[in-house]
Copies of this chain bind each other. A is one copy, B any other.
Amino acid sequence: MTHPVQGLDDVVHQRTRLGILAVLAEGSRAQFGFLQESLGLTDGNLSRHLQTLEEAGYVRIEKGYEGRRPRTWIRITKDGRRALATEIDLLKQLVQRIESNHSAPADERQT
């Protein structure tokens, strides 16, 4: 039997990136500053993780203007939503497994 953690994708599972995808999944796109504030991240830290997510095809970064002010929006892609859904599914399996195993008598288990 495969343990649920074996299916986790580090690109999505990593704490900060999981937060970014979770926040983005709540709407269709969000501003850089909104993500930063929602997750308590520095500029550099958010940029670095967005790059990883963009390279994986999980987010798209859009630069534009709002009036004369430059803006950066980040949008979750269809692949990003799918990856997040897989992560959530595996986390639920993991939680369920841990919570149902509290009464298991397994002790001094061997290979």
Contacts and interface: CB of A to CB of B under 8 A. Distances in A.
A18 interface: yes
Interface residues of A, number: 47
Candidate in A18, A26, A84, A105 with the most chain B CB atoms within 10 angstroms:
A26
Contacts of A88: 95, 98-99
Contacts of A108: 27-31, 73
A23 B3 contact: yes
A37 interface: yes
A68 interface: no
A33 to B, nearest CB: 4
Given A91-B95, A94-B22, A110-B34, A40 B6 contact: yes
